[in-house]
Structure 1
Amino acid sequence: MNPTVSSRPGYDQALLDRLWNYANVLRDNGISGLEFIEQLSSLIVLKRAHEQRQRPLNGQDVLGFDAWEQLTWTKRDRLIPAYQQILDLLAVRPGTLGLLFRRAQNRIPDPALLHRLIVDVVDRYQWSSVDIGAAFEALLARMSTDAKTGAGQYFTPRPLIEAIVQCMQPGIDDTVTDPACGTGGFLIKAFDYLVDHFPSDVTAAQRKRLDQGAFFGTELVDATARLATTNLVLHGVTRADETNPCITVGDSLARPPVRRATLVLTNPPFGRSSTSEKIYREDFWTLTTSRQLNFLQHIHSLLETDGRAAVVVPDSVLFEGGPGELVRRRLLSACDVHTLLRLPTGIFYAGGLKASVLFFDKPEPRPDGSPSTTRLWVYDLRSPHTPTAKPMTQASPDYSDFVFAYRPGRPRSERVETPRFRSFTVQDLFARHAVNLDLQVAEPPPGPFALEEPEVDLHRMAQEITAELGAALAEFASLAEALRPYGVHTDGPDREAER
């Protein structure tokens, strides 16, 4: 029987509908869905702290004062300054509590609307008893489809995350990280998987390690880091009063990692740096302005020896020349790049985005210097003409056949080739032009084993040319910047403002 992607208990649909309806009320008053979720997350943390404080047994004073009682008793005309004062007070607290309110601002300027959110929505529920984690995730999923908010760029579809996590099988001794964690989906699903498969013979030392930093991530944007931290708290991954936060706010690429992990799960941002500057790091293989190529290099450094990773990448990573070719060569040599999942289009916030998932391990270097990769298995979930036993829509693809073909926890020698799942030796990959890994395996090959397409794919050729021209232009821009005399600018006021 095929394994299915695990799912946890569902959320309260009535609760979700109530939250979504109020999001629509605020949207009609000029407050975006993302701003609503920010306010909701802060208020839920305050209400849960009140509930923990009021428990008749084992009560806990998380905040040091009852902020929720202050809010509910404050007169409406004083509500906004009182709420902002609480946010400012908590923002300077150490640990996770400070991160939950880092640079938090009230985004609801109408005290009547804020009062209604506090009294009629949040105060109606006991947030310590409902499955708010699942409801919060469902609310984020709905919000990610709203193109106006741009929230989708921080949200990886949860069915895809669940499939990846089931393939990677986080274990009791793993240290799990996401260097571009967004709203925390990978960390939460890895935690849920571990809870569902928790062994009975866990030692006290293992439990302590799980409670003190077995899951950690980095997020660049303050508001998103707050959402991720709230999400982790609501799912039980961490506590609001934890001394060491799970999430670090900052740029993962700015410096080499100070802490490594055995398991990296991530969907890093796509595109090029907002500036033309390349990132120089001694642990990187090459200089480039491509964020996805820099994240691949960073993940290699982030992994401990014998660690493993699953990374969502745009298809350009598979075929672009210049630094892209060098990174692919070095990755195939330094790591065992064993699986590539070609994703269908239409599952991300940018509808036409073509992306894939790279799975690789980081073993000890081979004594003879030969590549760590021996064989790459490519599963094509994109090509529409390949027969499949199950119907599939782009918006909701079925990953269970891929999970079955992946054979989690089993030797890869047990894998079986199908029209959708084929393998290629590393020698064949290195022989391809520019080490092109954009392999459409679901297309009927002209012979028993052929890597090159029988006909010229004009669309793919255009993609390759565009990617290589973009990389070349970025290189020329950086070179011109480096050669320009100090203080002399010839590219106009816009460039001067950028500098």
Structure 2
Amino acid sequence: MTADTIVSKVWSFCTTLRDDGVGYGDYLEQLTYLIFLKMADEYSKPPYNREVGIPEEYNWKSLCAISGAELEAHYMILLRELGKKKGMLGQIFTKSQNKIQDPAKLSRLIAMVDDTQWVILDADTKGDIYEGLLEKNAEDTKSGAGQYFTPRALIRAMVACMRPEPMQTIADPACGTGGFFLAAYDYLTKNYSLDKQQKYFLKHETFSGNEIVSNTRRMCLMNMFLHNIGEIDGESSISSTDALISPPSHTVDMVLANPPFGKKSSMTFTNEEGEQEKDDLTYNRQDFWATTSNKQVNFVQHIRSMLKSTGRAAVVIPDNVLFEGGAGETVRKKLMETTELHTILRLPTGIFYANGVKANVLFFDNHSAQKEPWTKEVWIYDYRTNIHHTLKKKPLRFEHLQEFIDCYNPKNRLDRKETWNAETNPDGRWRKYDYKEIIARDKTSLDIFWLKDKSLSDLDNLPDPEELAAEIIENIEAGLNSFRQVAVGLRGDRASGL
């Protein structure tokens, strides 16, 4: 049975559950619990004979042996008790709840999972199955799951540029469902003949991350486990703590990340009148260049602090990080001084499941301290102007970013050639700017573009009306987000007396 067949079979049952009010995310959550239990059962048998820490009264057989109301009651107890365990087991089942109220349908789901021998499936097949389910979940825009799912084509392109090597440590402080880890894992296994030590390091020590949303973290852990990263009875490499709270406990060779979109970090509390209020979170860290409640700016600062002196990073950030004044300007200046910010990829709208997003990818290399700024020139690839993508009709694919990868020149980043030329190729998308040019710009803005928007003049080549309407909506939402961010920033400046 192929991965596509299993995905289709497993996912088709969700339509039945939808009538009972079980959403895509809830369904995927229950699948995660059941597949984990089934694989644990398979590992407990020959030739593995492993003790994975699941008590006999809560193992897979205990679910298969009963039905009806007895099954529903037992399943609820099982979820609660396994959530108390340590390591990956406890992380998978933390805060778990039964969302399938019909015992007959729960029995059918258990039988469907039981029908597949998961351990003997190769990692690519298991991984493809779960990734397929995650992508279907992200497509359900009502659930909001898309905010934790970065387009896999973009992730692959970022990894292709970064070219991770064996025995390097890779981290993501907001890892979502683990897309960057899996792409890096695939790159390493396909481009290197790993020896025994390198294989062990890749499986157990290469990856680490943070994800504060428990349901997303459990999906990340399951996704990694199914791709052969980590052990079923091992410790979790994904922390549930907020990465921004304190300086990193260790530094890494590489950070690949797409921190959550949204202007501010906040916490909800109940005031004296019993009403719910939100309070902005400002992280006062000695290793930060600026104190701000803008969480994307904070993530940029945190990611820089995560890197070894030879570490490298590729991080997705929204436009406001490139042009915002105050703390944003301070961080941009410090980033160019202390690291080599060498590349920016401008991304189009219509590629993220979260609406109204205008984003970019920053590539920078850390270095030891010196008096002169490390950034000498910044290369910018504009894959936004005159580019039209939609999630359904024209989704972003890896080949769409191949020209950027070629221009980036991963094998020798110091040997690059501009495709832009004022006289011979004014439509070239690849252009460099000197450090002095950028530092002289208003607020040291890195929001740089030079191409003309042809949709305003070339009426014969307009995209389909549906595609054009989707892009207009995306641009309006992105514009509104930007205005909100500016308004919040102005209020913050007045409050601080700037």
Taking the aligned partners of 1:354 and 1:422, their CA distance within structure 2 comes to 20
Q: Residue type matched to 1:127 in 2?
A: W
* Superposition deviation, residue 292 in structure 1: 0.2
Equivalent of residue 222 in structure 2, options 230, 243, 249: 230
Pair 48,292 (structure 1): closer, same or farther in 2 beyond 3 Å: same
> For residues 165 and 294 of structure 2, what CA distance do their matches in structure 1 show?
32
User: For the structure 1 residues 336 and 117, does the alpha-carbon distance in structure 2 shift closer, same or farther, using more than 3 Å as the test?
Assistant: same
Residue in 2 that maps onto 1:336:
340
Task: Please say if residues 89 and 233 of structure 2, whose CA atoms lie closer than 8 Å, have aligned partners that are also in contact.
Answer: yes
Q: Which residue of 1 aligns with 2:79?
A: 87
Aligned match for 2:410, one of 401, 408, 422: 408
- Listed one character per residue, the Cα deviations across residues 242-280 of structure 1 (whole Å, up to 9, x for unaligned) are 1x3111001111111112111000000122122323210
Separation (CA, whole Å) in 2 of partners of 1:181 and 1:19: 25
- Indicate the residue corresponding to 1:370 in structure 2: 372
Q: Give, in angstroms, the shift of residue 334 of structure 1.
A: 1.0
Give the TM-score taking structure 2 as reference length: 0.84
Match of 2:307 in 1: 303
Q: Say which is worse superposed, 375-384 or 409-418, in terms of deviation.
A: 409-418
Q: 1:52-67 to 2 correspondence within 5 Å?
A: 52-55=43-46, 57-65=47-55, 67=59
Given candidates 322, 329, 332, the residue that maps to 1:325 is 329
Check conservation: 1:256, 1:298, Cα contact below 8 A.
yes
Decide whether aligned partners of structure 1 residues 385 and 108 sit closer, same or farther in structure 2, where only a CA change above 3 A counts. Answer: closer
Per the alignment, residue 31 of structure 1 pairs with 22
Provide the rounded CA distance (Å) in 2 between the counterparts of 1:50 and 1:473.
Answer: 56
2:444 aligned to which of 435, 451, 459: 435
- Determine which of 411, 433, 437 is the counterpart of 1:424: 433
Q: 1:257 to 1:69 in 2, by over 3 A?
A: same
| Partner SS for 1:148 | helix
Contact 2:202 2:229 in 1 (8 A): no
One-letter code aligned to 2:369: P
Contact preservation (8 Å) 1:217, 1:246: yes
Q: Corresponding residue for 2:365?
A: 361
Aligned equivalents of 1:58 and 1:19: distance in 2? 26
Q: Deviations over 1:339-383 (max 9, x none)?
A: 1001110111123311010000101122xx111111111011111
**Letter of the structure 1 residue corresponding to residue 301 of structure 2:** Q
Structure 2 letter corresponding to 1:126: Q
Q: Report how many residues are paired.
A: 446
Corresponding residue to 2:128 among 134, 157, 172: 134
Task: Measure how far apart 1:408 and its partner are.
Answer: 1.1
Residues 258 and 315 in structure 2, CA contact (< 8 A), matched pair in contact too: yes
Given that 1:312 and 1:355 are in contact with CA atoms closer than 8 Å, whether structure 2 keeps it comes out as yes
Which residue type is aligned with residue 28 of structure 1?
A: D
The reply to whether residue 192 of structure 1 matches residue 186 of structure 2 is yes
In 2, Cα distance between equivalents of 1:58 and 1:478: 62
Task: Work out whether 1:381 is the aligned partner of 2:373.
Answer: no
Give the gaps of 5 or more residues in structure 2. 267-278, 421-427, 454-475
Contact 2:159 2:183 in 1 (8 A): yes
Match of 1:155 among 129, 149, 154: 149
Equivalent-residue separation in structure 1 for 2:196 and 2:223 (angstroms): 27
Q: 1 CA distance for matches of 2:354 and 2:107? A: 36
Q: Counterparts in 2 of 1:64-75, with a 5 A limit?
A: 64-65=54-55, 67-75=59-67
Q: Is the 8 A contact 1:167 1:408 kept in 2?
A: yes
Q: d(CA) in 1 for partners of 2:435 and 2:324?
A: 18
Q: Which position in structure 2 is the counterpart of 1:179?
A: 173
* 1:291 equivalent among 295, 306, 315: 295
Identity %: 38
Would you say the 8 A contact 1:321–1:468 is kept in 2?
Answer: no
In structure 1, list runs of 5 or more residues that go unmatched: 1-9, 387-391, 445-458, 481-499
Is residue 165 of structure 1 aligned with residue 155 of structure 2? no
Relative distance call for 1:304 and 1:84 in structure 2 (3 A) is same
Check 1:463–1:15 CA distance in 2 against 1; reply closer, same or farther (3 A cut): closer
Counterparts of 1:241-280 in structure 2 under 5 Å?
241-242=233-234, 244-271=235-262, 272-274=264-266, 275-280=279-284
Choose the corresponding residue for 1:123, options 114, 122, 127: 114
Query: Is the 1:322–1:468 Cα contact (8 Å) retained in structure 2?
Result: no
1:223 aligned partner, one-letter code: N
* Cα pair 1:422 1:441 within 8 Å, conserved: no
Hey, what's the Cα distance between the residues in 2 that align with 1:463 and 1:52?
A: 49
TM-score w.r.t. the length of structure 1 is: 0.84
Once the two structures are TM-superposed, the CA of residue 203 in structure 1 deviates from its matched residue by 6.7
Q: Could you tell me which of 69, 77, 94 is aligned with 1:77?
A: 69
Indicate how the Cα distance of structure 1 residues 74 and 288 shifts in structure 2: closer, same or farther if over 3 A, else same. Answer: same
Q: What's the CA shift string for 1:11-63, capped at 9, x where partnerless?
A: 621211112211222122101110111100110000111122233x2332323
Q: Distance in 1 between matches of 2:281 and 2:44?
A: 50
Task: Tell me the distance in 1 between the aligned counterparts of 2:175 and 2:160.
Answer: 18
Q: Is the 8 A contact 1:181 1:217 kept in 2?
A: yes
Q: Take 2:414 and 2:407, find their aligned partners in 1: how far apart are those partners? A: 10
Distance in 2 (CA, whole Å) between partners of 1:21 and 1:279 is 45
* Residues 1:73 and 1:150: Cα distance change in structure 2 (over 3 Å): same
Q: Aligned-pair distance for 1:393?
A: 7.1
